[in-house]
Amino acid sequence: MAVHHLLRRGVSGGSSIRGILLASQVLVLAHCSCGHTGSSIFIQLSFSSPAAQEIGRRPLSSAAAGDAAAELRGAREDVKKLLKTTFCHPILVRLGWHDAGTYDKNIAEWPKCGGANGSLRFEIELKHGANAGLVNALKLIQPIKDKFSGVTYADLFQLASATAIEEAGGPKIPMIYGRVDVTAPEQCPPEGRLPAAGPPSPAEHLREVFYRMGLNDKEIVALSGAHTLGRARPERSGWGKPETKYTKDGPGAPGGQSWTSQWLKFDNSYFKAGSGPSSSAY
């Protein structure tokens, strides 16, 4: 996969890196375990200027904040129940990432700047090539949104993503809530802001996409570690096999080809394995 082009070009310095995926309109948190130093580093990245960070966030009174906190707790518990019955951890991570990954640091105006604003619920964006299959994630999460209507789609997508990482064995991610939803499909970002599968120059393609968000090479590699979860499906991305011995029986919907043998466990196996869907390993 494209991230291995960055690894081979010395971006990681031979390190063993564990990346967690949580991109949002306001922050990305990447946890990197660097093998050559033995240190753990938390990198917090602003996805906009300090002034622009207040755009797309909603101030709340004390009473409203209390109600919102209760709804968020309830939504989180229902996401946990959903994960236990459907094993949908990977697609919920992908849902949160793809809603957030349209961010462009060079655009100051909200919502034109993209980011975690709930726009992915609209059909026009769900039909973007990079979002193939995410309608299934929306169908899973919609009953929770209906039950806790005070939680915005933007917040719910990120809450579900972070909860899925934690429930898969990853760290508990400090969250910030208060994202505002866009209100119409006309506010969706243009297609083409997310990474493409199998570009001619993978490393340069990743840089083009992620530099636009304000990330550097090391952070791109850490973020890519989220591929330790989930599978590639050829009918969606054009990559991988229809099924392997690790995926033919699920859990969850069967099929696809994973990057790791334990594709519902959040760890750094993706970097250790060094193989993607083009490999016959998984």
CA 109, chain centre distance (Å): 23
98 is catalytic: yes
Contacts (Cβ under 8 Å, ≥6 apart) of 151 = 68, 71, 72, 75, 145, 159
With CA atoms as reference, report the closest residue to 31 among 130, 148, 166: 166
Respond yes or no on whether the N-terminal peptide bond of residue 200 is cis (omega within 30° of 0).
no
| CA 146 to each of CA 59, 142, 151, 262: distance values in angstroms, whole numbers, following the listed order | 22, 6, 9, 33
Annotated catalytic residue, options 98, 128, 205, 227:
98
Contacts (Cβ under 8 Å, ≥6 apart) of 213 = 23, 28, 47, 101, 103, 104, 105
Task: Write out the H or E segment, with its range, that includes residue 142.
Answer: helix 134-147
| CA 196 to each of CA 106, 137, 161, 209: distance values in angstroms, whole numbers, following the listed order | 21, 20, 21, 9
> Which residues are identified as catalytic?
98
